[in-house]
Structure 1
Amino acid sequence: MKLTCIYCKTEQFDQGKGSEEHVVLSSLGGRKSSRSICCQKCNIELGKEIDKPLAEGLRIISTFYGIITGRGKEAATLKSYGTHNGRNFDLLPGGRVELSRVKIDRQIDEEKGVVNISVRARNVDEVNKLLKQQLKSLGKGIEDIQIGEITESVEYPKSISVSIDLGLVSQHRSIAKTALTYIATMISPERLRSGCFSNIIEYIIGSEEASNSISMTQINFPPLPNISDAQHRVIISASEDKKMAIGLVELFGGLKFMVALTDCWEGPNLQKGYAVNPLNGDQVEYEDTVNLNDEHWSEKASGFDGGIYLEMVRKVFGAAFNHHVKLEHERIISEVTEEFFKEFGGEDFTDELKMKLSSRIAKAIANSVYKINEYRIIPPDHFKII
């Protein structure tokens, strides 16, 4: 069967052979999708116009959580996200801070016939790689160099300024598209194109303001489906009696929106909910367990509310930051333990060694919590060029 794209209303494609449209954006960790909604051109154009602003507005949360996208990729590293001691740093997935770039200084003392090379890098492996490159360019070998002072440092920026933006109309159009895409996965292509959803479609493509189509909301969402504190959820309820269909959209477990999909619903009662955990890709769907009450049906979509927005953003970013802290502590414990056993691996793991390991872990975590910079001079004979 041939279907017409619901957005441009001109391009046609075979049922199930249209462009892949995700319910929750793939860039936010969504997996579920449909190929019976739109053409590739509209998918690409709406992706740039409304989906990209939504993903970028939430990218700091995606990065702090270290999400996995719907295509199995890591959350984006935020390049040159800030400056510390005159050096740019990146924010890695999970929220870890790292220097944006390495620095190499090379000075030639022709009188003494020596070359002084200074390398500032993010880890020992990088130092080794850069030194090898420098030696190769000079036509020298490892035996030709003399190691000078080596300092290992862990430094913490005093603060990181973040930006979370969900106030753009384009972003709300993307969220409305999320609800429409989900209901499209559970109804026939003919019902989707019957004219019942014309208002919300016009709002999504930008032809109609329709500020009463979507709003941020503080109403309680149904308890199911629920699989993660960081989950994305889409819940659809359509009422035969009320002639209405509404969608509830929740991003990162706390950014909540209500979408008025139609007020001329001619189908049967329909209740279904979908949840995906962007941290690992787990997803679930529940039917007939998400019936909405009068609170949901009586609330009218009213656009953007700054007070509700700030309250929800504080909650969601706080949860993302706490997850980052948990990941940091796990990383610290793993790295300190690995280094410890490299040093003492050949000895019996006595109570004294257990206490020494515990003390090192506790100190490293305390430095992380209280942002205490740490510097360590490495003796030249302990540094090996591999």
Structure 2
Amino acid sequence: MNICIFCPTVLTPDTKPEHIWLNALGGRATTRGVICSECNNTFGSTIDTALASQVQDLRTLLNLSSGDRRTPPPLQVTIEENQKFVVWPDGRIELRQKPFIIEKRSDGGFDVTIKAKDLEHVDSLMPHVAAAIGISEENLRNQLGRANAREIIQPGPQVTRNMAFGGHDPLRSLAKSCLVLWNKSGQDNAIKESPFDAVKVFVTRGDQTFLSNKIKLDGRPIPGADILASKFGPIFNLIFVKSDSNGKILAYVGNYNTAYWRIVIAEAGGMPNRAVGLVSNPLNPNNWSYLPNYGFDLDISWLETPTIDESSRNPGDSIGAALKDHTEKQQEQHIHEMLIDTFRECQISEGSVITEEAIERFSQRFALWLLRAKTDRPLSSEEINSLISLNKG
């Protein structure tokens, strides 16, 4: 009979599964034999939420799905003049405002400003603009064909984020993951006893003294990190827990191969001479494994001596490399979309000869994109007619 490691509740087959590594961070491994549903819910709405919130921006910038394959939330960005943008995980940036503005002139006519992300978006707005004015869509298109029009392109914002790791409540969540993994792998009966009281108090209620004395940030290179990176990607998540011959239990835990902490789980009295671990790839949550495996292990003597050595490892290297790779893929996709838009505007189909006009348009669009320049130019009658007849092509 299993009992929750944090309270006297007996666990049953109906107990809610607990993610060993947080679902929001890409965790897939679960267990029903360690934490009861009530404690699970309490942790989920408090310390787990604190940890998930801490990495939310990074998940969006890298498009990191959760363990159950849910996409990360978009970023809300506000820049000068109170312009509000939404940055989606796939790299799309949208200006959050009314898609069109209609102003009635003194002569009875209308000035229409349409704010759209591309020509297809403009085309999709035509029925709504016509309805707002009170005319048919056909009539609107005919009138637009005779109107003066301008195209204004506003580049999206440069997205920057300051990200911090650690802190009291996020570390409580990480310590919980270490306890769950240790208990699941071997059902250490001593985990209900006094050697584990300090860490359990820290997880359930928080304890600044435990945080100061039993948890240490570690800046050293991890022995065997190259092995894990080759199999689980450059920003792998890691939990590793090991005991010595006296049952002293030390945990080593970090997310996104960036910041790591050594946590004293028990000073003595645990199951001796054991090592367990869990590694996962947040870029592909299906890629995970229990440890020791793949030749990876950490000596207990190494775990005893966490050190902050800024010269030995840059915590941002792994994330920086992942962001660079992800950004390059997004840029390739955006260039492809610009090319498709240009071909459509110039009515170039597959197999057709690329015209000088198409080359010039694409070159201008590409240069403006690189320079992140705002443009304001009049549209020719040919461009207007091409636009208003887009849905007829």
Is 1:37 the counterpart of 2:44? The answer is no
Out of 264, 278, 296, the position equivalent to 1:290 is 296
* 1:153 alignment counterpart: 153
Determine if contact 1:88/1:100 at 8 Å carries over to the other structure: yes
- Distance (whole Å) between structure 1 residues aligned to residue 363 and residue 194 of structure 2: 63
Q: 1:40 to 1:266 in 2, by over 3 A?
A: closer
User: Corresponding residue for 1:299?
Assistant: 305
Q: Is the 8 A contact 2:234 2:257 kept in 1?
A: yes
TM-score scaled by length of structure 2: 0.81
- Return the letter of the residue paired with 2:151: T
Cα contact 2:123–2:387 (8 A) shared by 1: no
Look up the SS of the partner of 1:380 in the other structure: helix
Give the SS at the match of 1:235: strand
Instruction: Please tell me whether the aligned partners of residues 25 and 52 of structure 2 are also in contact (alpha carbons under 8 angstroms).
Output: yes
1:9-158 equivalent positions in 2, closer than 5 A:
9-14=7-12, 16-79=13-76, 81-84=77-80, 86-109=82-105, 112-145=107-140, 146-147=143-144, 148=147, 149-151=149-151, 153-157=153-157
2:280 alignment partner in structure 1: 276
| Structure with greater strand percent | 1
- After superposition, the Cα gap between the structure-2 partners of 1:198 and 1:17, relative to the gap in structure 1 and judged at 3 Å, is farther
1:96, distance to aligned residue in structure 2 (A): 4.4
**Alpha-carbon distance in structure 1 between the residues aligned to 2:107 and 2:61:** 50
Write the deviation string for residues 296-349 of structure 1: whole angstroms up to 9, x where unpaired: 232269xxx8x96xx855435533531342232221233134335544334457
Shift of 1:363: 7.3
Please state whether the residue corresponding to 1:186 is helix, strand or coil: helix
Q: Is the 8 A contact 1:94 1:324 kept in 2?
A: no
Aligned partner of 1:344 in structure 2 is: 348
Which amino acid counterpart does residue 335 of structure 2 have in structure 1? I
Q: Deviations over 1:178-199 (max 9, x none)?
A: 2222223312264543444322
Distance 1:42 1:144 in 2: 63
Instruction: Find the counterpart in structure 2 of residue 214 from structure 1.
Output: 215
Q: Percent identity?
A: 18
1:44-78 alpha-carbon deviations (Å, 9 max, x no partner): 22222211122212222111111011121111101
Inter-CA distance 107–154: structure 2 relative to 1 (3 Å threshold): closer
* Structure 1 Cα separation of the partners of residues 365 and 115 of structure 2: 25
- Normalising by structure 1, we get a TM-score of 0.82
Distance in 1, Cα, partners of 2:368 & 2:108: 43
Q: Could you tell me which runs of 5 or more consecutive residues in structure 1 were left unpaired when the two chains were aligned.
A: none
Alignment coverage as a number of residue pairs: 369
Q: Say whether the 8 Å CA contact 1:108–1:116 is kept in structure 2.
A: yes
Cα-Cα RMSD? 3.3
| Distance apart, 1:221 and its partner CA | 2.2
Residue of structure 2 equivalent to 1:323: 325
* Equivalent residue letter for 1:296: W
